[in-house]
Chains A and B, each alone.
Chain A
Amino acid sequence: MTNTTTPSSTDSFAPDTGVLRTMRKLHLPQKLRNRELALLLFACVINSVAIVLVQLGATGAVDLDLVYLGAGLSALVIGLHVCLRYVAPKADPLLLPTATVLNGLGIAMIYRIDLAKGLVGWSAASTRQITWSAVAIIAAIVVILVIRNYRVLFRYTYVFGALAFVLLLLPLVPGIGREVSGARVWISLGGLGSFQPGEIAKIALAVFFAGYLVRTRDSLSMVGKKFLGIRFPRLRDLGPILVVWALSMLIIVFQHDMGTALLYFGLFTVMLYIATGRLSWILIGFALFGGGAFFAAQTLTYVQGRFQNWLDAFSPQVYDASGGSYQLVQGIFGLAQGGLIGTGLGQGRPQLTPLSQSDYIIASLGEELGLAGLFAILGLYLLFVSRGIRIGFAGQDDFGKLFAIGLAFTVALQVFIMVGGVTRVIPLTGLTTPFLAAGGSSLVANWIIVALLLRVSDSIKTGPASEVSA
């Protein structure tokens, strides 16, 4: 170190070409991560502003306690971001900020309804939602740190299949299973509240479907007879879809949960189609589920009721009936009240709608943020899903592609089932609106999906910044 006193510009770089090389190598990922950080900070600002606006709108004063809690969550997502810099520097930069905004808007709206109902402390859904958000983000951090290479999941395909099966059946086990508003999809965690294992099961199922289909797709796609220009599978290859179909029907019959059944079955059918490239699977899937749903609508009164509430929501008999369309119509009234620009955060009456923090969170948001706000939220979902699909396009191996698509599609399908249910596109069924709705299991599952998508996207060689032609 002779020239420390008079450093020249050329000398200072000369001795350390190794660092330069590393920096060049890291240049692209750093740019991605910096972009992510900027968006993430913006997302945290949006969330804090939303909470303050809720307070000003509903009470006229600012209560900093919740802002501090929000700041804690911000710290956690930034922690996740820092982890990504080390273990997944090339991961997609838009997924994390998108999930953060959705999660934050959900908390703001749940908090807003707590304020209207005068709920504070642990009885307030917002407190629990913040706690669960923390748990969920930590879970995502753990997943991203532990699973350094998603291909290990491929190895455990059948383990995940069995896990999904067990998780799904847990609520039916006497003693730990619990029934909430007619659906038996919960397990009791003692003092910690309850958990919906089906939410975690959907991730296990995505792993299982992807692994299974990659292994068996040749036999599922190559063999079979052609009919009307479409190649139909052999009878014995119908096995897997029949099994998933039977599982879905069991969920409908025993757990009274049409939404979950539709989600699993839709997920499997789409993954099957992508893996095999055979349209016939879609047709068979539609026929099976349509037939099952039709049969259920004829025989199961709760399914019947759902269809009636959907088709004839505004008729006085259906509206006044027990388990009738009252909730649905109240949600629609809320949306109508919001109109184009909304009543403003904290200034509407979303609490008039039953389940306004969970099933009808989208109606609550639509009331206070208006159509403009709903378009923004749907836009965020679309962005999230499209990033997932993009990872599928650019994926390096079939398992990764299929897995990423499966994860992205569960989010898309869940949004469609919930928002479509609230706005009467389809009959309403009890799923959760990803990231927004109050509920711990759903948050944990969706944040794990974020982590897994990040992990898969990191392995894409060309990097998400440059387009990969399909």
Chain B
Amino acid sequence: MNRELKRVSIVVLAMFAALFLSTTVIQVAQADALRLDPRNTRALYDSYDTERGPILAGGTVIAQSVPTGDQYAFQRQYPQGELYAPVTGYFSPTQGSAGIEQYMNDYLSGTSNTQFLDTINRIVAGQAPKGAAVEVTIDPVVQQAAFDALGDRQGGVVAIEPATGRILAMVSTPTYDPNVLASHDSKAVIDAYKTLESDDLKPLSNRATSGDMNPPGSSFKIIVAAAALASGDYTPESEFPNPVSLQLPGSSSEVFNWTRAACGPGETVTLREAIRQSCNVPMAELAIQLGDDAIREQAEKFGFNSEISVPFPAGKSIYPSKLDDAQTGLTGFGQYEVRATPLQMAMTSAAIGNDGDLMAPTLIDRVTGRNLEVLSSFEPEVMTETLNEESCVALTEMMINSVSDGQSNGARIEGVDVAGKTGTAQNGTGEPYSLWFTGFAPADNPEVAVAVVVENDGNLGHHSSGNIVAAPIAKKVIEAVLNK
């Protein structure tokens, strides 16, 4: 009988071994995947219980969680919601999130890997779960100045610290109030979201980093000029024929300067003059001479055609592929299918101002845990070496001329060298213009690079231009940085 007993004991042992194994598989091997299952409401309820970390901008609280009595335990609040909406995004316990709220959720909710030890300590110490604080690079003064300067126009502003890539301002108008999307009333959130989404002015789109892309127009000329200087075959004094109009090769289209006249009195015109007066004809000639590959290569060094995250993904700015000469000519002054975001144009200016080194742009300064320990901190990082120093100096000089004594004078500031370039881009016959300015200041040692886009003619009709509308906005942003 004992022989059989031994065998039965082995069977019993095997039964228990199966249970040890099955519990291990579920609780360890598959646990992470099971927690991510959308049907798993526990993870969701956990997120309610956590006091989500705040988002701070230079000591100003721009998002915070305050205790409530309801089932979600905490209410997310945005004290200056409309001003910071493009940065924070929103967080709804039931209807999703956007912006920093979405892309820094691991830290804010306290579930990132770096907070694992903290979680253990918390369980041992019996403390309530609390997420980490995210400090953004936004300067509240600059942000407010950009917001005020844009006013009720439709557009976006990005300001970057050229030496580091820290984003000092990110404004998009018209904006929205993230507080309405953070409500605990799911129906109210869904209704508000639908209203915002169906709004023709598209308040939910971030015009600073994506939105409906605008052609950069003449502001793109600095990139064409950069490509020319980088080739080593051109200098600011290189001369181009100066007709009133240019018949594009293989096409019936003609290119005119914005004045509908020649670019100055001479038979020929220098690159410097073309930039200063923002002439289209010589830039089209230059673009065709350079070829689309050279321009595309330079544009991609500045960040065109690639995904950029800050940490949420920005829209991809585009320099199109496979162009014929006529199309290449149009891209010489930022038309045809060239598209750019203010972030992209600010990065371009920042790189030129930083001796060609393009710093990776970011919104995140630091992440700190519950005891103010730093969980993650920002390190400046060179993204690309875009242009040699010599070319940067030459290009900067041309951009200074453009502001001090040229078509970009709307950004002129007394006693400060501002390097910049405007753009007034066409969106097709009868469509309103996209108005641009991008530049940096002080030119010799820039503290800020800025890009402004104003859509829909800046509400002024076709008499508007980048210089009338966008340049003064950029000026106010630059002043806000320099006056501090």
Query: A197 an interface residue at 8 Å Cβ cutoff?
Result: no
Q: Residue B482 at the A interface, CB < 8 A?
A: no
* Given A378-B23, A389-B12: A337 in contact with B18 (beta carbons within 8 A): no
Q: Is the CB–CB distance between B12 and A273 below 8 Å?
A: no
The main secondary structure of chain B at its interface with chain A is helix
Output the nearest chain A residue to B124 by Cβ-Cβ distance.
A344
Inter-subunit contact A419/B19 (CB<8 Å): yes
Nearest Cβ on chain B to A111's Cβ, whole angstroms: 19
Q: Which residues of A contact B42 (CB under 8 A)?
A: 333-334, 337, 348-349, 352
Question: Contact between A371 and B28 (Cβ–Cβ < 8 Å)?
Answer: yes
Contact A335 B2 (CB under 8 A): no
B1 at interface by CB-CB < 8 Å: yes
User: What are the residues of chain A within 8 A of B3 when measuring CB–CB?
Assistant: 277, 470
A270 to B5, CA, bound (A): 9
Q: Is the CB of B8 within 8 A of A405?
A: yes
B44 to chain A, nearest CB (A): 10
Within 8 Å by CB of B27, from A344, A371, A389, A392, lies A371
Closest Cβ–Cβ distance, residue A362 to chain B (whole Å) = 9
Q: Which residues of B contact A366 (CB under 8 A)?
A: 23, 27
Question: Are B34 and A349 closer than 8 Å at their CB atoms?
Answer: no
- B12 to A385, Cβ gap below 8 A? yes
Q: Which residue of A lies closest to B14 (CB)?
A: A416
Asked whether A470 lies within 8 Å of B6 as measured between CB atoms, the reply is yes
CB distance from A118 to the nearest CB of B (A): 13
A230 to chain B, nearest CB (A): 14
A423, B23: Cβ atoms closer than 8 Å: yes
B378 contacts A by Cβ under 8 Å = no
Kindly state the separation between the CA atoms of A423 and B19 in the bound complex, as whole angstroms.
Answer: 8
Contact at B1–A423, with CB atoms within 8 Å? no
> Would A389 and B23 count as touching, CB distance under 8 A?
no
| Docked complex Cα distance between A37 and B227 (Å) | 89
Q: Which residues of B contact A344 (CB under 8 A)?
A: 123
Q: Which residue of A lies closest to B19 (CB)?
A: A419
Contacts of B9 in A (CB 8 A): 386, 389
B4 within 8 A of A: yes
Contact with A along B305-322 (1 / 0, CB 8 A): 000000000000000000
Closest to B2 in A: A470
Counting CB contacts under 8 A, is A370 at the interface? Answer: yes
B247 part of interface (Cβ distance < 8 Å)? no
Contacts of B40 in A (CB 8 A): 333, 336-337
CB-contacts of A377-412 with B (<8 A): 378, 381-382, 385-386, 389, 392-393, 398, 401-402, 405, 409, 412
Question: Which chain A residues border B11 with CB–CB below 8 Å?
Answer: 270
Residue of B nearest to A416 (CB): B15
Closest chain-B Cβ to A13's Cβ sits at a distance in Å of 44
A420 / chain B contacts, CB cutoff of 8 Å: 15, 18-19, 22
**CB neighbours of A412 from chain B (8 A):** 12, 15-16
Instruction: Mark each residue of chain A from 402 to 433: 1 if its CB lies under 8 Å from any CB of chain B, else 0.
Output: 10010001001101100110011100000000
Whether, in the assembled complex, B60 has its beta carbon less than 8 Å from a beta carbon of chain A, the answer is: no
> In whole angstroms, how far apart are the Cα atoms of A372 and B45 in the complex?
24
Residue in B26, B34, B41 whose CB lies within 8 Å of A352: B41
Residues of A within 8 A of B201 (CB): none
A329 pairs with B6, CB closer than 8 A: no
- The answer to whether A405 and B5 touch (CB under 8 A), given A336-B35, A371-B27, A371-B28, is yes
Nearest chain B CB to A445's CB is how many angstroms away? 19
A419 to B39, CA, bound (A): 22
Chain B residues with Cβ below 8 Å from A393 are 2, 5
List of A residues within 8 angstroms of B43 by Cβ: 337
Question: Interface code B72-98, partner A: CB below 8 Å = 1, 0 otherwise?
Answer: 000000000000000000000000000
Say which size band chain A's interface belongs to.
35 or more
> In the complex the two chains form, is B5's CB within 8 Å of A332's CB?
no
Asked whether, in the complex, the Cβ of A416 is within 8 Å of the Cβ of B8, the reply is: no
Q: Are B27 and A335 in contact (CB under 8 A)?
A: yes
Task: Please classify how large the interface on chain B is, using the bins under 10, 10 to 19, 20 to 34, 35 or more.
Answer: 35 or more
A370 touches B27 (CB 8 A): yes
* Chain B residues, Cβ within 8 Å of A240: none
B6 and chain A: residue at smallest CB distance: A470
CB distance from B109 to the nearest CB of A (A): 15
B22–A470 CB distance below 8 A: no
Q: Report which of B1, B35, B39 forms a contact with A398, defined as CB distance below 8 A.
A: B1
Smallest CB separation, B260 vs chain A (Å): 65
Alpha-carbon gap, A238 to B259, bound state (A):
109
Bound together, the chains give a CA A334 to CA B37 distance in angstroms of: 12
- Closest residue of chain A to B11 (Cβ to Cβ) is A270
Given contacts A270-B8, A332-B34, A333-B40, A374 and B1 within 8 Å (CB-CB):
no
Closest beta carbon of chain B to A316's beta carbon, Å:
9
* Chain A residue with Cβ nearest B126: A56
B residues in contact with A334, CB < 8 Å: 42
Q: Cβ of B45: which chain A residues have Cβ within 8 Å of it?
A: 349, 352
Asked if A259 is at the interface (CB within 8 A of a chain B CB), the reply is no
Let me know if A274 and B27 touch, CB within 8 A: no
Tell me whether B186 is interfacial, beta carbon within 8 Å. Answer: no
Distance in Å: Cβ of B263 to nearest Cβ of chain A? 66
Would you call B24 and A273 a contact (CB within 8 A)? Answer: no
Choice from B5, B16, B35, B126 contacting A337 with Cβ under 8 Å: B35
Say yes or no: is A437 at the interface (Cβ < 8 Å to chain B). Answer: no
Residues of chain A contacted by B27 (CB below 8 angstroms): 335-336, 338-340, 366, 370-371, 374
Which residue of the partner chain B has the closest CB to A348? B42
In the complex, what's the smallest C-beta–C-beta distance from A427 to chain B, in angstroms? 13
| Cα-based distance from A366 to B13 in the complex (angstroms) | 21
A319 at the interface (CB under 8 A from B): yes
Q: How far is the CB of A149 from chain B (nearest CB, A)?
A: 21
Known A-B contacts A319-B39, A378-B16; the reply to A335 vs B26 at CB < 8 A is: yes
Q: Given contacts A273-B4, A423-B26, A470-B6, is CB(A333)–CB(B37) below 8 Å?
A: yes
In angstroms, Cα B25 to Cα A370, docked, is 12
User: What separation, in Å, do the CA atoms of A314 and B18 have in the docked complex?
Assistant: 21
Decide if A378 touches B1 in the complex (CB within 8 Å): no
* A470 to B4 Cα, complex, angstroms: 11
Q: A274-B1, A470-B2 are in contact. Are A335 and B8 (CB under 8 A)?
A: no
Residue B61 lies at the interface, judged by CB distance under 8 Å to chain A: no
B30 lies within 8 A of chain A by Cβ: yes
Q: In B378-436, which residues have CB < 8 Å from any A CB?
A: none
In angstroms, Cα B16 to Cα A335, docked, is 18
Query: Distance in Å from the Cβ of A309 to the closest Cβ of chain B?
Result: 15
B24 touches A371 (CB 8 A): yes
- Which residues from A are CB-within-8-Å of B188? none
The answer to whether B460 has its CB under 8 Å from any CB of chain A is no
Binary contact readout A30-68 vs B (1 if CB under 8 angstroms, 0 otherwise): 000000000000000000000000001000000000000
Q: In the docked arrangement, what's the CA distance between A332 and B35, Å?
A: 10
Q: Which residues of A contact B5 (CB under 8 A)?
A: 274, 389, 392-393, 401, 405, 470
Distance (whole angstroms) from the CB of A279 to the closest CB of chain B: 9
Report the separation of the CA atoms of residues A327 and B268 in the bound assembly, to the nearest whole angstrom.
82
Contacts of A274 in B (CB 8 A): 1, 4-5, 8
Within 8 A of B (CB), among A316-362: 319, 329, 332-341, 343-344, 347-349, 352
Closest to A335 in B: B26
Query: Nearest chain-A residue to B26 (Cβ)?
Result: A335
Query: In the complex, A424→B42 CA distance in Å?
Result: 20
Contact A275 B1 (CB under 8 A): yes
Nearest Cβ in chain B — how far from A435, in angstroms?
A: 16
A356–chain B nearest beta-carbon distance, Å? 12
**18 additional contacts (CB under 8 A) given A274-B5, A277-B1, A412-B12:** A270-B11, A277-B3, A333-B35, A334-B42, A335-B27, A336-B34, A337-B31, A343-B123, A344-B123, A366-B23, A371-B28, A374-B27, A375-B20, A378-B19, A386-B9, A412-B16, A416-B18, A425-B19
24 pairs from A and B in contact (CB 8 Å cutoff): A270-B8, A274-B1, A277-B4, A329-B39, A336-B35, A336-B40, A337-B35, A339-B28, A340-B27, A340-B28, A347-B123, A370-B27, A371-B28, A375-B23, A386-B9, A389-B9, A389-B12, A393-B5, A401-B1, A412-B15, A423-B19, A423-B23, A424-B22, A425-B19
4 cross-chain pairs, A with B, having the tightest CB-CB distances, nearest first: A336-B34, A423-B22, A470-B2, A371-B27
